[in-house]
Amino acid sequence: MATGTEPPRAPSPPARGTGASALTGVRSPGRAAVAARHLRTDRWWLQPAGTAAGLLAFVAYSVWRAFANADYYAAPYVSPFYSPCVAHDCVPMKGGADWDVFGGWWGLSPALLVLIFPLGFRLTCYYYRKAYYRGFWASPPACAVAEPHAKYTGETRLPLILQNVHRYFFYFALLVAGVLTYDTVLSFRDADGAWGHMGLGSLVFVVNIALIWAYTLSCHSCRHLIGGRLRHFSKHPVRYRLWGWVGKLNARHAQLAWASLVSVAVADFYVYLVASGVFGDPRFL
Amino acid sequence: MSTSTGAAASATSYEARFRVWRGDADGGGLHDFRVEVNDGEVVLDIIHRIQATQAPDLAVRWNCKAGKCGSCSAEVNGRPRLMCMTRMTDFARDETLTVTPLRAFPVLRDLVTDVSFNYEKAREVPGFVPPPGVAAGEYRMDQVDVDRSQEFRKCIECYLCQNTCHVVRDHEENKTAFAGPRFLMRVAELDMHPLDAAAQAGLDRRRTAQEEHGLGYCNITKCCTDVCPEGIKITDNALIPLKERAADRKYDPLVWLGSKIRRRGAASGPGA
Amino acid sequence: MTQPERSQWDVVVVGAGGAGLRAAIAARESGARTAVICKSLFGKAHTVMAEGGIAASMGNVNAGDNWQVHFRDTMRGGKFLNQWRMAELHAKEAPERVWELETWGALFDRTPDGRISQRNFGGHQFPRLAHVGDRTGLELIRTLQQKIVSLQQEDFRETGAYESRLRVFQECTATRVLKDGDRVSGAFCYARDSGDFFVLEAPSVVLATGGIGKSFKVTSNSWEYTGDGHALALLAGAPLINMEFVQFHPTGMIWPPSVKGLLVTESVRGDGGVLRNTEGKRFMFDYVPDVFKEQYAESEEEGDRWYDDPDTNRRPPELLPRDEVARAINSEVKAGRGSPHGGVFLDVSTRMSPEVIKRRLPSMYHQFKELADVDITAEAMEVGPTCHYVMGGVAVDSDSAAALGVPGLFAAGEVAGGMHGSNRLGGNSLSDLLVFGRRAGAHAAAYAGSLTARPAVDDVQVDEAAAEALRPFSAEDGAGTPSVPAPDSPGAQAPPAQAPPTEAPPAESPYTLHQELQQTMNDLVGIIRRAEEMEEALVRLGELRARARRAGVAGHRRFNPGWHLALDLRNMLLVGECVARAALERTESRGGHTREDWPSMDAAWRRVNLHCALADPAGTLAAADPERGQIALTRRETPPVRPDLLALFEKEELVKYLAEEEFHE
């Protein structure tokens, strides 16, 4: 029977004029003959366009700041783009994370040495993958809107198979978040290293680190490692509970991804404003 | 109650404009209909009214009309939907509704498509492997351990996820290698089943997910989750966990090392 | 005419719901080459609509439960009209059938100690229904479907072909059971998509086609429920029993109109939902009949205590058997105490927290939210009775599920009669499917294996069946010389409207005929019945039958729903007449049969089964004369209940059901 449970018959040769190669996807022979690539009437393009614009804006900003190699420290604040600062020529940070582990040969901005980790974490993040596959690659641009590519192999081969390394970046992201936490703690000292300080910058840092942690812990790899990989939750009650909490955060992974992206840029920009003297850090304590 | 306004509103029927795809594998096109719409109706009601009054041979597949069987899948204004769960109040009265068959599968006639691709894929997933030595009636499972698989078993097999997934929708040639979200979710369901004994039987579901069912084709763009009428979190709860499980066995030496040490330390059950 | 394609099988199962799939599994596991034919896609059967659960006395929640208690509840629910041997087998075997599902991968909700959880339901003394939230039917179908797939995978490993021993013909309809003399020789079928005819040759045919609800206007049943199996059996010469017993589920949705009749699961009441009229009164306390007085609470306080402490309190009357609740709602509405859309209020919002409601009744929450814009966690539902289930069906042997008088014909599930007596308890349907589906499949395979020669398919019968199936295409041709449209020539058949021959009356729309049939059955043979109305119904059915001969369809044979409906009309008309005739004959009220003119139960009727058979088996179904019916009724006395089973009841209870002389036998 034609609606059998057997495999479909080989598609009949293209009946409609043009060459076979042009008829793929939703216009494949045998499928309902509809010329339009999609029939959506809503503003489906808004989301991918917004995503692409947002990500591009962040990339532009971060490229400028990462290569600037200037105005990233205004005691007690260090820009999250430059922490930990592991090159030889970092600005001294008074107990901050300026560890000269790389030596003097590195001539470029020290930001590039560390940014690779959060960048990799976000680049391989399951949410960002969705966002840029849709926004930049148009693969697909939106649901039920035909993608322009003739061929698609997904994440089955190089380079995209490397997306599977997400969990290593997660491990590193934990370290980076730890350092940024340290920076945030140090932001409660004044420029001379005495405790008891609190400026607007300290608050910016607290908000930023909270969002960074929330984003990092809401990661799908984290959810898997903390408990998702278990088969019997009943035998691991503590991990089950943790998995439940991470799951709640994970449901907001996309929002946290954007919120932490904005907050990290704001934190950096705040440091830039203070360091470049545009603005003095208002102190509360 | 909110329904009490319904009686008063029942006089508010109107005439809607529909464009319905009619034809078969050899060709076809959108046909215009003007048809009455009454209070509380869904798109499937309108298709049935067209059938009963204007086009008696209009082919449409449906069954329960309650969102439980997953038969009446179609595309309404370009979006994959169950027609029985798409209310007319979701649309403006002056809007023209375009209804086409699912566009990822071969069309049979009018709104009915040949969904045998899905039955073929279902056959490629090995079923539940009962635990040896546990008699019927002796199965013991905790609710927290069955919760995850139960979510996936809510699936009504409407195949909207299979239809909307660009991997096969936009690339006919991927149909051989890719099982689609519904059947990758089935693999996840079995891999999370607290008593599935596939591993003892020499079947590694994580390996087959990647090597035989095309897990790597999924680029987690989440359209399957968006269209699921049952609200199953296919991507977050099935596909990504399955990718992570595949990564466990293939790409993560820490996890690999951990399991080696533990296995040597004590004979804990497979899969913890 | 091109000859229909033929294929040979040992067992053909008609229907792929719970009973059909379970029968197919049993037949295939008994070694029979088995074909399943179903009208919908594989896995879409109406069984998915079952919400509450599978009744089986596993005793996981209350250890006091056992098969005897289950048997007792089933007999009480059916008002002792049940084919008691079926009720016995059902109660005994249900737990095994449920446990077996777990070994095939089913995931039921669990008790704290890890066993299958069981919930309360109307008419069941203990929590007994194995369930998965409120989508138990879906779990059942999916499990059976996946079991069939794994059997096919097994066959693939051994033979290289998935369908070598078990094949599903989906989206196909059987229109005739073929016979060689008295014996079954196969089934005549058409594929809905291509319109092609084909013949499945087999010595055994298992009917598992479900019910008849589509003959009624307000129904919870899907389009498939056109009484196909009932009609196939009648036409093959097998009698139907108890057709007057049609269950109206008390709680169907009543608004909006497009979903009127859609089921609101009984679990809503089992989990604490209460029924109120517009005065806010829990009216069910006024409707507890004498036979149930001892088992139900007399005050709201006692009823409420029961949910937490069922051992020292009696259950609330909202959990009476379905027939009682449906009648009570009907009476409240008639008395002017109904809700705005003509029902009553079913409320869980004041009794459970929103979280609990969403967890225990997810589909109901979803259904009302999506379809009626009603948030059941915040407001009451409006509900009213809806045609839900037919207790009557093919008369079968209790042990083997074999139809009477037609060797090789079997029936299981809703299409089989007897098991539920005059009224079915909720949850007993899914267990019925499993218990008797398995029995039917196994016995069908055994019967096929016992034959030395295969019954032959008669070419004349095949040609007649083909001509009958094509008649709607030539309806405008009054004289009835069917020109045969080839499946691939859409132009071969002019639409009826375009070329009306001068003398013949215009073709009838099958859609119109169907609507009129539904209205007739709903209004005249509905929940409350009167002799004059049923007589009127028989007249109207006769007229519809004559008009249905002229039901015509446009277009060609490929996936033509108008044509399919025209063919289904024959079955619905046959079944409708069975219901009306039997209901007119039975002058008492019992279970799913309520006579306004005969309001009480009559012990003398308890031992009487009404058998429906074709009045003129040799004749065609032409019935040009609308007056002449197609159905003949005979009264049959049921065998007395076995003494050890009777001994399970108190004498005080038995006197309410049994006639005086039955005690002396």
Nearest chain A residue to B99, by CA: A39
Q: C334 by DSSP, 3-state: which?
A: helix
Q: C11 by DSSP, 3-state: which?
A: strand
Count other C-beta atoms under 10 Å from residue C278's C-beta: 14
Nearest chain A residue to B96, by CA: A41
DSSP A44-105: TTHHHHHHHHHHHHHHHHHHHHHHH--S-EETTEE-GGG-SB-STTPPP-TTSSB---S-TT
Question: Using a CB-CB distance cutoff of 8 angstroms, which residues of chain A are in contact with residue B249?
Answer: none
Written as six digits, the tokens of A30 are 């045998």
Q: Does B93 touch chain C (CB under 8 A)?
A: no
Of C119, C142, C322, C586, which residue is the catalytic one? C322
* Whether pLDDT at C96 is above 50: yes
> Can you say whether residue A141 is alpha, beta or left, with left for phi > 0 and alpha for psi between -120 and 50 degrees?
alpha
The alpha carbon of residue B25 and the mean position of all alpha carbons in its chain are separated, in whole angstroms, by: 24
- The per-residue pLDDT for C400 is 98
HEC string of A142-206?
A: CCCCCCCCCCCCCCCCCCHHHHHHHHHHHHHHHHHHHHHHHHHHHCCECCCCCECCCEHHHHHHH
- The per-residue pLDDT for C639 is 92
Distance CA C499, CA C184 (A): 41
Q: Does B211 touch chain A (CB under 8 A)?
A: no
Question: Using a CB-CB distance cutoff of 8 angstroms, which residues of chain A are in contact with residue C41?
Answer: 3
* Whether pLDDT at B121 is above 80: yes
Of the candidates B66, B128, B140, the beta carbon closest to that of C114 is on B140
**B-C contacts at Cβ under 8 angstroms:** 195
Q: C170 by DSSP, 3-state: which?
A: strand
pTM: 0.92
Tell me which residues of chain A, numbers 124 to 153, contact chain B at a CB-CB cutoff of 8 Å.
126, 129-130, 133-134, 139-140, 143-147, 149, 151-153
Question: Using a CB-CB distance cutoff of 8 angstroms, which residues of chain C are in contact with residue A6?
Answer: 162-163
Q: Nearest CA to CA, how far is A127 from chain C (Å)?
A: 28
CA dist C105 to B212, C122, C656, Å?
22, 28, 44
Test C191 with A5 for CB contact under 8 angstroms: no
Q: Nearest CA to CA, how far is B109 from chain C (Å)?
A: 7
Of the candidates C153, C193, C256, the beta carbon closest to that of B126 is on C153
Distance CA A169, CA A221 (A): 10
- DSSP letter at B217? G
Question: Using a CB-CB distance cutoff of 8 angstroms, which residues of chain C are in contact with residue A30?
Answer: none
CA dist A216 to A120, A176, A256, B240, B242, Å?
13, 10, 9, 16, 20
Q: C96 by DSSP, 3-state: which?
A: helix
Nearest chain A residue to C152, by CA: A5
- The per-residue pLDDT for C3 is 87
Of the candidates C41, C258, C561, the beta carbon closest to that of B41 is on C258
CA dist A161 to A165, B222, C447, C528, C660, Å?
9, 18, 57, 67, 82
Q: Does residue A6 lie in a domain region? A: no
**B215 contact partners, CB below 8 Å, separation of at least 6:** B184, B209, B239, B242, B243, B246
- The per-residue pLDDT for C622 is 52
Please tell me whether the peptide bond between A84 and the residue prior to it is cis, using omega within 30 degrees of 0: yes
Neighbours of chain A (3+ CB pairs under 8 A): B, C
Test A1 with C194 for CB contact under 8 angstroms: yes
Is C315 catalytic? The answer is no
* Whether pLDDT at C266 is above 70: yes
* Whether pLDDT at B269 is above 60: no
User: From start to end of C476-569, where are the E strands?
Assistant: none
Q: Does residue A62 lie in a domain region? A: yes
Going across the sheet that includes C393-394, the strands are: C393-394, C240-241, C608-614, C631-637
Q: Does A250 touch chain B (CB under 8 A)?
A: yes
> Can you say whether residue C152 is alpha, beta or left, with left for phi > 0 and alpha for psi between -120 and 50 degrees?
alpha
* Average pLDDT taken over every residue of chain C: 91
Q: Comparing A157-166, B144-153, C151-160, which segment has the lowest mean pLDDT? A: A157-166
Count other C-beta atoms under 10 Å from residue A138's C-beta: 18
- The per-residue pLDDT for A14 is 40
CA dist B83 to A146, B45, B79, B227, Å?
22, 8, 11, 12
Of the candidates B106, B119, B240, the beta carbon closest to that of A30 is on B106
Nearest chain C residue to A7, by CA: C162
> Can you say whether residue C201 is alpha, beta or left, with left for phi > 0 and alpha for psi between -120 and 50 degrees?
beta
Mean pLDDT of C504-512: 84
Q: Does C170 touch chain A (CB under 8 A)?
A: yes
pLDDT range class, residue C664, cuts 50, 70, 90 = low
ipTM rounded to 2 decimals = 0.91
Asked if B40 and B130 touch (Cβ cutoff 8 Å), the reply is no
Residue A135's identity, in one-letter code, is G
Count up the domains in chain A and report the number: 1
* Whether pLDDT at B17 is above 80: yes
Range of the domain at A53: 44-275
pLDDT digits (tens, 9 = 90+) for C59-85: 999 999 999 999 999 999 999 999 999
* Whether pLDDT at B9 is above 80: no
Instruction: Compute φ and ψ for B129, nearest 5 degrees.
Output: -105, 110
Q: Comparing A88-97, B52-61, C537-546, C561-570, which segment has the lowest mean pLDDT? A: A88-97
Tell me which residues of chain B, numbers 203 to 262, contact chain C at a CB-CB cutoff of 8 Å.
none
Test C172 with A1 for CB contact under 8 angstroms: yes
The helix-helix angle for A200-217 and A166-186 (nearest 10°) equals 160
Distance CA B216, CA B220 (A): 10
pLDDT range class, residue B255, cuts 50, 70, 90 = low
Q: Does residue A225 lie in a domain region? A: yes
Written as six digits, the tokens of A55 are 């990500």
Asked if B77 and B50 touch (Cβ cutoff 8 Å), the reply is no
CA dist C80 to C388, C411, C422, C430, Å?
21, 22, 8, 20
* Whether pLDDT at B1 is above 80: no
Q: Does C107 touch chain A (CB under 8 A)?
A: no
Helix%, strand%, coil% for chain A, nearest 5: 50, 5, 45
Residue C306's identity, in one-letter code, is W
Handedness of CA C9, C11, C16, C18 (dihedral sign): negative
Domain ranges of chain B: 12-113, 116-265
H or E segment and range at residue C515:
helix C510-524
* Whether pLDDT at A285 is above 90: no
* Average pLDDT taken over every residue of chain B: 91
Of the candidates A5, A146, A155, the beta carbon closest to that of B170 is on A146
Buried b (16+ CB within 10 A) or exposed e, C51-78: bbbbbbbbbbbbeebebbbbbbbbbbbb
Neighbours of chain B (3+ CB pairs under 8 A): A, C
Q: Does B124 touch chain A (CB under 8 A)?
A: no
Distance CA C609, CA C586 (A): 9
Selection from C409, C14, C30 nearest residue C203 by Cα: C409
H or E segment and range at residue C643:
helix C643-646
Q: Does residue A12 lie in a domain region? A: no
Test B65 with C259 for CB contact under 8 angstroms: yes
- The per-residue pLDDT for C499 is 41
* Whether pLDDT at C408 is above 90: yes
Neighbours of chain C (3+ CB pairs under 8 A): A, B
pLDDT digits (tens, 9 = 90+) for C575-599: 999 999 999 999 999 999 999 999 9
Question: Using a CB-CB distance cutoff of 8 angstroms, which residues of chain C are in contact with residue B136?
Answer: 96, 99-100, 102-103
Complete domains list, chain C, with CATH: 5-246+389-459 (3.50.50.60), 253-386 (3.90.700.10)
Question: Using a CB-CB distance cutoff of 8 angstroms, which residues of chain C are in contact with residue A5?
Answer: 42, 162-163, 168, 170
Selection from A256, A226, A223 nearest residue A238 by Cα: A226
* Whether pLDDT at C105 is above 50: yes
**A-B contacts at Cβ under 8 angstroms:** 199
DSSP C564-625: HHHHHHHHHHHHHHHHHHHHHH--S-BTTB-BSSS-S--HHHHTEEEEEEESSTTS-S---S
User: From start to end of C114-171, where are the E strands?
Assistant: 118-119, 129-130, 166-170
- The per-residue pLDDT for A158 is 87
Written as six digits, the tokens of C555 are 């277009």
Q: Does residue A125 lie in a domain region? A: yes
Of the candidates C41, C42, C193, the beta carbon closest to that of A2 is on C193
Test C42 with A5 for CB contact under 8 angstroms: yes
- The per-residue pLDDT for B7 is 42
Instruction: Compute φ and ψ for A127, nearest 5 degrees.
Output: -75, -50
Count other C-beta atoms under 10 Å from residue C182's C-beta: 12
* Whether pLDDT at B12 is above 90: no
Q: Does A42 touch chain C (CB under 8 A)?
A: no
Question: Which of B221, B245, B254 would best serve as a mutation to test chain A binding (most A beta carbons within 10 A)?
Answer: B221
| Residue in the structure block whose two tokens are 């269209």 | B227
CA dihedral A54, A60, A63, A68 (to 10 degrees): -130
Percent of chain C scoring above 70 in pLDDT: 94
Q: Does B92 touch chain A (CB under 8 A)?
A: no
Q: Which is higher by pLDDT, A9 or B62? A: B62
Which CATH topology does B12-113 take? Ubiquitin-like (UB roll) (3.10.20)
**Class (C level, CATH) for B116-265:** mainly alpha
Test C194 with A2 for CB contact under 8 angstroms: yes
pLDDT digits (tens, 9 = 90+) for C173-230: 999 999 999 999 999 999 999 999 999 999 999 999 999 999 999 999 999 999 999 9
Asked if C104 and C148 touch (Cβ cutoff 8 Å), the reply is no
Selection from C248, C285, C239 nearest residue C633 by Cα: C239
- The per-residue pLDDT for C600 is 93
Length of chain A in terms of residues written: 285
Q: Is A269 exposed, middle or buried (0-12, 13-18, 19+ CB in 10 A)?
A: middle
Written as six digits, the tokens of C561 are 């729903």
Q: Comparing C24-28, C126-130, C480-484, which segment has the lowest mean pLDDT? A: C480-484
